[in-house]
Amino acid sequence: MKDHIVFITPIYAGFFGVMMVILSWRVTKLRRKFEGNKMRETGHNELTAAVRARDNIVEYLPLALLLMWMLEFMQFNPWLVHALGITLIVARLMHLHGLNEPSGDGLGRRLGTRLTWLHISICSLLSFAGSFGIIF
């Protein structure tokens, strides 16, 4: 039997893939509810929040996951990669929760966004260090 290589980043990519489908389904459901599938801004806060939650994942996750994969590929400590993945999950869930508060601009949204930026910044710096052979 061949040894199976276990990859870390696909665990988190899979989680966010499911999250993306759920958020997209929610947008579709709300569009039908509020505008009958018309592609226009309606002023409905619930629909706007759903669209922003979905679009925000599309904006940040590709880079965040790519950076994590690079750290994994450069053989950074697996616990570090997991810690970064868990941080990203917490950040995105905080953002989603804050976005769904009545104001649409809850504390969770702001903290989640900043935590995502911190994740990307740390991954970027570690990737840069790893390119020079400095591996943690």
- pLDDT at position 53: 85
Q: Is the pLDDT of residue 100 over 90?
A: no
At 51 the pLDDT is 85
Enter the tokens of residue 36. 């009958």
Question: Considering the chain, what is the average pLDDT of its residues?
Answer: 88
87 by Cβ neighbours in 10 Å (0-12 / 13-18 / 19+) ranks as middle
Structural domains of the chain, ranges and CATH numbers in brackets:
9-130 (1.20.120.550)
Structure tokens at 19: 């999250």
Residue with tokens 């903290």, as numbered in its chain? 111
Q: CA 124, CA 50: separation in Å to the nearest integer? A: 29
Which pLDDT value is given to residue 2? 60
pLDDT beyond 70 at 41 = no
Pairwise CA distance, residues 61 & 58, whole Å? 6
How many C-beta atoms surround the C-beta of residue 102 within 10 A? 8
SS3 5: coil
Contact 117, 87 (CB under 8 A): no
Rounded Cα distance, 124 and 70, in Å: 10
pLDDT of 12 strictly over 80: yes
d(CA 94, CA 70): 25
